[in-house]
Chains A and B, each alone.
Chain A
Amino acid sequence: MLRRSSPRLPVYIVLVVAALAACERRGGCTGPYCGTLVNAAVAEPGTLLPPSSEDIVANDIDEQLFLKLADVGMSENTLGDEDFQPLLAQKWEWDGPLTLVFHLDPGARWHDGRPVTAADVEFTFNAYTDSAVASPFRPKLHRIASVTQRDSLSAVFRFRERYPEMFYDAVYHMRILPAHLLRPVPRDQWRTAPFGRQPVGDGPYRFVRWQPAQSIELVADSTFFLGRPGIRRLIWRFTPNLQVAIQQVIADEADIREQLVTPDNVSRAREAKQLAIYPFRGSVYTFLSFNQRAADDTTKAHPIFADREVRRALAMAVDRASLLKSALDDLAKVPPGPMSELLWIWDPDIRQLPYDTAMAARRLSALGWRDHDGDGVRDKDGQPLAFHILVPTSSVLRKQYARLLQAQFRAIGVHVEVDELEGTVVNQRVGTGKYDTAILSRNNDPSPSSGIAQSWTRAGFGGSNFGRYYNPELERLVDRAVTATNRDQARRLWRAAMETLNADAPGIFLYALDNVAAVHKRVDNVQFRPDSWAALLRTWRIPTDRLIDRDRVER
């Protein structure tokens, strides 16, 4: 009997499991503050402690947990203070040219109920600038001399010098931390502190749980002093594979994918009926970096790229527009210099080297780089015009670009080998200068000042100026642009700086990705601030007539 019925057993098991799994608990939330949004994230943060967390997902989550004193507005204007939105600071005033006083909102509370005070602000500045914390934001705060408390709700910032982005530096890089919880933790142990995995913040959302390699869940603070968030629950779901993350959104298992990255993904997302597509300005640009130091001995000049004229010829040999069309269609733009479209200095009219292969070939020949031995590769004094392009294996796009560049350089008699290596190896080789060229990406914050200076001036030697490019004229122009007193003057100076840099061709600026996000259509008031897509999440809403099962679930 048992034997005869046993073949049906697996069928019964499957049916029972299916029935149980399909039987969702019906929840009860029906009001205006219901809603659960699941974000399909492709990376998991290491820690949520703001001074130690520099990855993008950690920043997105920290936006919900920890407030800044104020934040940039949708204009992304970083000059002066007029376009900034108050957050923890209810108001501020200038007390002399170098002193800025913030008055905290008395309604601001930590999620454990303690008030947010000026002591927290002072503590935060001291922590961010303490070398023991090893915060990546520390260099961006070097022009602030001190932060002190005038009274329990007034924090005083004193600057070392006067410049247009004083306010931006004061508010943008630091999220205020709870001194009463972090003071007992030795600073050199902050990266490993349990607080980073169970944070207590003061933002619109409270931390609920972190399931390693699965998800982080936050719940709205219904008493948030700036207004109750519209969405009740936020979940970051970690999926290491981008394609699978996009499949989750398409299959209606997640609500948000803030970057679809490729044209194919965008068209797939467009076909999903429940999704709305939101393009917004991107913050990343990608370029081919020419190393001006020899790869095998970084104390010597590079035999090819130390020569400005060779770099210029190579830059002219690349048809960036056609590369972009072939790899990214209309999902990106050719950057007019080392910048993403996020920066207010973005201007397509900035002068750039033209695409002109005939001129490129003539210049190389004039410099002595000719094909003397008839092997199809130019050479000079017995040295072939050949180099390597370094790309990380993890980036399909950069690998594709490397192949396309290889083909374009071949057309003018330049031999290129593509080295596809693991991301950590690429990072190590680039960081130590052991490369010829590498396709690198940079993420801009809204201000051109710190990013461009760190990547393209002497200030970045030993840091992010991996190719060790240096031009005193550029340094002078950048210094003047950073200290320009008004936006028009700053724009002119930045433009001159970018044209100087473009003329030197320290790299070839390949593409600046536009961001395209997919969000479930039931969500209203969706706004993306380009420098931080999650900055305005607390204002998103789901109308009561559009709630779906996962919005109503009570636990």
Chain B
Amino acid sequence: MTGAAWLLRRLVASVAIIFAVVTFVFILIHLAPGKPCGQVGGGEYQDPIVCAQLIHQFGLDKSIPEQYGRYLVALAHGNLGYSFSLHRPVQDAIADTVPFTLQLAGAALLLDFVLGLGLGIYQAVRVNRLPDIVIGNVTLFIYSLPTFWLALLLLLIFGEKLRWFPVGGPNDLILCPVVDSLHCVADRLWHLVLPAATLGLVGAAGTARFQRAAMLEVATQDFVRTARAKGVPERRVVLRHELRNALLSFITRFGLAFPFLLTGAVLIETIYAWPGMGRLAFDAILSRDYPLVTATALIASVVVVAGNLLADILLGVADPRLRVRADTDLVLTA
């Protein structure tokens, strides 16, 4: 099987996975108890008569197979439906939020990998010495913290008490309602610090432990011993020989990081009032906004599947042993 054929096969499988996820979520959310008529604020409930009228208006009184059929037809035409909680087309709502989630996930991913990788390497180089032990315990502590708790803590200390960073939101609503200048770009980055740090720190703690273990495993390999025996400088041994080989596990973790970032973002976006897709999905689930829930699941599954596909491709690029062979699928020969 050629690389192109393998890719095609993976793409077809990816589409099938995404379809299955969408179908599963569609059925599950429709079967879940609760209706898309909830509380309307102040503890007041929506009038059941008005609620019944709205359910009829949006076709929610039809059978689930009929609704699903209609949904698929609309989806085939590129129509994700209409959000009844937001009173607007789902694609508009998604389009508004995706950039924010990408910014948050991107910043968190960057922090996660840069910091995690750096700490992991540093620990591996100083294995079983004081810095390794200290960093190991600190990363374990951070990794074991609930993300929402860390978010609230950072917000309390750096937002409310010290006032170093803004308390939620993606930008200064008065000076920068839209990002149209360098100042507003900086303002956006400034608002990004705490949410990205919350997500990124927890991720970096995991990455560091992961990377340390991978480095130590590679360090015992013959080619590393040979390099040292040949008199290759230590820095070169670590960066060229150990790190390059230990990066394979890092790439695998890269693929796995996407679901973590998307699920973590639900809490972080809610606490930091970050207008991303995680918060959109969370609110949609609470308000039983079926089209919006299904659409966010669709987007999330696309991102996760794409992330894993990208990781597989990168693994093949990074390690010739893992490349696709003409007559088999992806084969692990190592």
Contact = CB atoms under 8 A, between A and B. Distances in A.
Interface string B150-176: 001001100110010011111101110
A54 interface: yes
A358 B34 CA distance: 40
Interface string B173-202: 111010000110111011000000000000
B175 A24 contact: yes
Nearest to A282: B42
Interface string A223-245: 00000000001010111110110
Contact of A428 (B34, B49, B275, B287): B34
A37 B279 CA distance: 25
Given A238-B273, A464-B47, A20 B182 contact: yes
B166 to A, nearest CB: 6
B86 interface: yes
B304 interface: no
A52 B46 CA distance: 11
A237 B286 contact: no
A250 interface: yes
A247 interface: yes
B50 A424 contact: no
Interface string B85-105: 111100001001100000000
A38 B57 contact: no
A129 interface: no
A458 interface: no
Nearest to A48: B87
Interface in A488-503: none
A423 interface: yes
Interface stretch (A105-113, A206-214, A299-307, A324-332): A206-214
B43 A441 contact: yes
Contacts of B35: 424, 427-428, 431
Interface in B27-45: 33-45
Contact of B287 (A18, A424, A425): A424
A251 B159 contact: yes
A348 interface: no
A299 to B, nearest CB: 17
Contact of A251 (B44, B160, B173): B160
A244 B173 contact: no
Given A241-B273, A253-B167, A424-B288, A443 B87 contact: no
A550 B173 CA distance: 10
B48 interface: yes
Contact of B155 (A54, A191, A215, A247): A247
A437 interface: no
B25 interface: no
A424 B48 contact: no
B283 interface: yes
A553 B173 contact: no
Contacts of B152: 243
A255 to B, nearest CB: 11
Contacts of A244: 155, 167-168, 271-273
Contacts of B160: 247, 250-251
A112 B186 CA distance: 36
Interface in A388-438: 392, 395, 421-425, 427-431
Nearest to B187: A21
Nearest to A25: B175
A443 B173 contact: no
B interface residue count range (under 10 / 10 to 19 / 20 to 34 / 35 or more): 35 or more
A392 B82 CA distance: 27
A145 interface: no
B183 A23 contact: yes
A49 to B, nearest CB: 8
A46 interface: yes
Contact of B53 (A131, A197, A212): A131
Contact of A17 (B88, B163, B190, B288): B190
Contacts of A555: 177
Most buried by A among B49, B166, B167, B286: B167
Given A212-B86, A247-B156, A423-B38, A440 B43 contact: yes
A214 B185 CA distance: 17
A73 interface: no
B163 to A, nearest CB: 6
A213 B96 contact: yes
Nearest to B97: A213
B43 A284 contact: yes
A429 B51 CA distance: 14
B170 A214 contact: yes
A134 B156 contact: no
B279 A240 contact: yes
B53 A134 contact: yes
A292 interface: no
Contacts of B43: 284, 286, 395, 440-443
Contacts of B96: 212-213
Contacts of B280: 213
Interface in B127-168: 152, 155-156, 159-160, 163, 166-168
B253 to A, nearest CB: 22
Contacts of A237: 169, 173, 273
A357 interface: no
B252 interface: no
Most buried by B among A36, A238, A424, A431: A424
A188 interface: yes
B208 to A, nearest CB: 17
A553 B187 CA distance: 16
Contacts of B37: 424, 427
A347 B183 CA distance: 57
Interface string B253-280: 0000000000000000011110100011
Contacts of A136: 40, 46-47, 50
A196 B182 contact: no
Given A240-B279, A241-B271, A248-B168, A43 B183 contact: no
B218 interface: no
B54 interface: yes
B87 A283 contact: no
B174 A38 contact: yes
Given A191-B57, A192-B88, A441 B174 contact: no
B40 A55 contact: yes
Most buried by A among B42, B53, B57, B85: B42
A56 B87 contact: no
Contacts of B49: 462-463
B42 A443 contact: yes
Given A192-B88, A244-B271, A430 B45 contact: yes
Contact of A283 (B42, B170, B275): B42
Contacts of B48: 431, 462-464
A427 B275 contact: no
Contacts of B185: 20
Contacts of A18: 190
Interface of B: 33-51, 53-54, 57, 82, 84-88, 93, 96-97, 152, 155-156, 159-160, 163, 166-171, 173-175, 177, 182-183, 185-187, 189-190, 270-273, 275, 279-280, 283, 286-288
22 contacts: A17-B189, A17-B190, A21-B187, A134-B50, A191-B84, A192-B87, A209-B177, A212-B86, A212-B97, A214-B171, A239-B273, A241-B271, A241-B273, A250-B160, A251-B160, A252-B163, A425-B33, A428-B35, A443-B44, A463-B49, A464-B48, A553-B175
Question: Across chains A and B, which 4 residue pairs bring their CB atoms closest together, nearest first?
Answer: A441-B43, A424-B34, A20-B186, A213-B275
Given A427-B37, A464-B45, 16 more contacts: A21-B190, A54-B41, A55-B41, A134-B54, A136-B40, A196-B87, A209-B177, A212-B93, A213-B279, A214-B169, A237-B173, A248-B167, A424-B287, A425-B34, A427-B46, A428-B34
